[in-house]
Structure 1
Amino acid sequence: MTATERSPSLFVRPLGAVENNPTALKLILGGKLRELRVHAGLDPADVDQRLGFPRSKTSRIELGRHGCKPADAEALLRLYGVEDEDLVTEFQRLVAQSRRTDWWRSFSDVLSDFFTPLVALEGAAAIIRTYEPFYVPGLLQTSSYARAVIESGPARLLPHEVRRRVDLRRERQRQLDQRDAPRLWAVIDESVLMRTVGGPRVMREQLEHLAALMRRPHITVQVAPLDVTASVGVGTGVTYLRFALGDLKDAVYIEHLTDSTFSQKPQTVEQYRDMLDRLGACALTPKESLVLLEERIRRYT
């Protein structure tokens, strides 16, 4: 690629919140390097051999599993014929951004491997859509409610482990207060409002907090009546991440009893996006949901 071929769209558009997400940047930079490699007519093994990389290093960089060092980026761009100084400078700037430590790594002591992909990327999403059949979604929980949910889980946790998990949940919630915060659209099973978690005081506080959040312009909450969720056939929690940038594929996170599935396979993502569409179409409107929520709050007075 020559200096006049400014085709990498990465360099000519703002990345917004993605710039503050090292994991997302690694995926974007890796995908861009893959495009450049294909354009240059090389396969990963060729690149490894020409640059003296260990076997499969190029593939790991392209998949975002291996951080790209500045020297590696320079060598790759040169091999792929990228000569425009502005492009190289911008690419190297983003490489430096991608090498920062993700905020969630400080919670590695309580962050399960199967939960990491969601936590790592949700802050980079333009839209987060979620369905929760048992509890208020984690991004909308109060600390007291979160503590009650965590303590009711199957694992026997020490007090400091519970605190750390609550802190993790609060850090995730802070992403909704950022300037480039994702738009959150949550559908909650009606039974969630009926289930008293942590006692009446904790539940009332949670419902009041949820009602306040529903008045924010970038947060939409709908309640799905019991007959709706029964007809749609949803039996587990689902979170769908929609990214504004084409360099990041949409993803779906599906909860199971003891683990989860995080997938970016188009067929799987489409299946769950369709399910969320049907739930949203059949659920109460946000206004109707708020009326129902306020009715439940009055029952705790």
Structure 2
Amino acid sequence: MAAAEPSPSLFVRPLGAVERNPTALKVILGGKFRELRVAAGLDPAHVDSKLGFSRSKTSRIELGRHGCKPADAAALLDLYGVDDDVQVAEFLRLLEQSRRPDWWRSYSDVLSDFFAPLVALEGAASTIRTYEPFYVPGLLQTPAYIGAVVRSGPGPLLAHDIQRRVELRQERQRQLEQGDGPRLWAVIDESVLMRTVGGPQVMRAQLEHLVAMMGRARVTLQIAPLDLTASVGVGTGLTYLRFAPGDLKDAVYIEHLTDSTFTQKPRIVEQYRDMLDRLGACALTPRESLEAIQKRLAGM
């Protein structure tokens, strides 16, 4: 007798790093709930009424903004006709993982609300693309450089708060060291090499760190000449998150003076992806960028 075919997964597999990210899992599970509801021909208000949910609860679950209890998930799956034991078990397993606390929440005392969406999802990305006009990208900064950048911000900070911010950035960097962590493709403005942040010793150590990081297979760094950034028209830092196909919609994080914009709207994301593509195509190659950094180091 032929072996029974395994039940197809409801999710794009493998989820990889996403399974370690509760926020990303909430969004993925919410999107899957919406997909199943639409396939069942139901609207959110009908589901709320049918299952005795409070108003708009179904919509909040689908947006990934509302924690979903296992009993509610089981009721939703049953309503949507998902009755395969293997699929239900997989769904509930991922749901349980999504209910764990995110690592970054322990840094809520120093994490701005507008910065949280980026920190919450960057570890689940397959690729992080970033452009920085003023500083070395945060994911490539040394602790001393991080401290200098933090101290240069508005308002005086206690030594404890500065250290907490340094530790938060270091925790973000550790995600790059995971075997299935994101690839990093960074473009920095040429002026970043000239801007001595934290003093000559701190800056030298930072540039040496960049040289070391450029030796990693999953890190790509390019220098954008000054005339290039003027012509492309990028006036602010931005980060683009690309996720594995089918898991999450790509996202872009755009920095402003006192806040930021984080969006997954396809039209806006596409515009900034195109901008990054043009920057990368016109910037110095990785080899040329390495030579530029080494030249700067020789002149210090």
TM-score computed with the length of structure 1 as normaliser? 0.96
| Alignment pair present for 1:255 and 2:255 | yes
* Aligned AA (1:108): S
Contact 2:15–2:247 under 8 Å retained in 1: no
Q: Which residue of structure 2 aligns with residue 123 of structure 1?
A: 123
Q: Which residue of structure 2 aligns with residue 132 of structure 1?
A: 132
| Alignment pair present for 1:73 and 2:62 | no
* Aligned AA (1:272): Y
1:166-213 superposed Cα distances (whole Å, 9 cap, x missing partner): 110000000000011101000000000000000000000000001100
* Aligned AA (1:155): G
3-state DSSP class of the match of 2:66? coil
Q: Which residue of structure 1 aligns with residue 267 of structure 2?
A: 267
Moved more, 150-159 or 83-92: 150-159
Q: 1:156: Cα distance to partner?
A: 2.2
Q: Which residue of structure 2 aligns with residue 285 of structure 1?
A: 285
* Aligned AA (2:60): R
* Aligned AA (1:41): G
Q: How many residues in Structure 1 have an aligned counterpart in Structure 2? A: 295
Q: Distance in 2 between matches of 1:243 and 1:258?
A: 27
Sequence identity (%): 76
3-state DSSP class of the match of 1:124? coil
Q: Which residue of structure 1 aligns with residue 242 of structure 2?
A: 242
Give 1:1-301 correspondences, 5 Å limit. 9-10=10-11, 13-300=13-300
Unpaired stretches in structure 1, ≥5 consecutive residues: none
* Aligned AA (2:236): T
Q: Distance in 1 between matches of 2:177 and 2:68?
A: 30
Q: Distance in 1 between matches of 2:139 and 2:155?
A: 21
Q: 1:7: Cα distance to partner?
A: 6.9
Contact 1:126–1:244 under 8 Å retained in 2: yes
Q: Distance in 1 between matches of 2:276 and 2:193?
A: 19
Q: Distance in 2 between matches of 1:280 and 1:240?
A: 13
1:13-66 superposed Cα distances (whole Å, 9 cap, x missing partner): 210000000000000000000011111111111111111111111000000001
Contact 1:123–1:181 under 8 Å retained in 2: yes
Q: 1:8: Cα distance to partner?
A: 5.9
Contact 1:127–1:183 under 8 Å retained in 2: yes
Q: 1:67: Cα distance to partner?
A: 1.4
Contact 1:8–1:32 under 8 Å retained in 2: no
* Aligned AA (1:281): A
1:205-227 superposed Cα distances (whole Å, 9 cap, x missing partner): 00000110001000000000000
Q: Distance in 1 between matches of 2:230 and 2:37?
A: 49
Q: Distance in 2 between matches of 1:30 and 1:63?
A: 6
3-state DSSP class of the match of 2:123? helix
1:238-294 superposed Cα distances (whole Å, 9 cap, x missing partner): 100000131300000000000000010111000000000010011000000000101
Unpaired stretches in structure 2, ≥5 consecutive residues: none
> Following TM superposition, where does structure 1 have runs of at least 4 consecutive aligned residues deviating by more than 2 angstroms?
6-9
* Aligned AA (1:294): Q
Q: Distance in 1 between matches of 2:139 and 2:299?
A: 24
Q: Distance in 2 between matches of 1:40 and 1:120?
A: 31
Q: Distance in 1 between matches of 2:20 and 2:67?
A: 15
